[in-house]
Structure 1
């Protein structure tokens, strides 16, 4: 099970296990875009709002963040906007 906007663990594993030499250029490009989108979603979501499986997957893939709040919260804090 994946969190909203996140790539599920089985998709990540499938993409990682198949060597790039056996993938078409389209598959390689799709994997890259999905990986970047998943990484951005990981960074934008506070750890406290992630499911256990997503936290574990992020830890393995290196997508984990150390945010106590989301990027939106940090932007609001920087601008002095009340939550």
Structure 2
């Protein structure tokens, strides 16, 4: 379940696990758009009003209110470790 205006966790994971080299221009643009919209919605929603699922999703994907300190999500760190990061 997602909070109003937020992207589901499965959508976030699906977008992040597909290598960028295999994405079309439209997919790149869609990922960027949806990521910015989700981050904006997360910024506007108070942390206390987020569902447990959305809080966990923000933490894993580096969204607003996540536990990361350097704007790198856990997924980004995993992609880096596997050599799948953006170039």
Give the TM-score of the pair, scaled to structure 2: 0.72
- For structure 1, the residue ranges without an aligned partner over 5 or more in a row are 67-83
What is the root-mean-square deviation of aligned Cα atoms in Å?
Answer: 1.3
- For structure 2, the residue ranges without an aligned partner over 5 or more in a row are 67-87
Q: Are 2:50 and 1:50 equivalent residues in the alignment?
A: yes
Q: Which residue of 1 aligns with 2:7?
A: 7
Shift of residue 62, structure 1, vs aligned partner: 1.5
After TM superposition, where is structure 1 displaced by more than 2 Å over at least 4 residues in a row? none
Q: Which protein has greater RCO, CA pairs closer than 8 Å, 6+ apart?
A: 1
User: What secondary structure does 1:57 align onto?
Assistant: helix
Number of corresponding residues = 66
1:20 and 1:8 map into 2 onto residues whose CA distance is 20
Question: Higher Cα Rg: structure 1 or 2?
Answer: 1
Structure with the bigger percentage of helix:
1
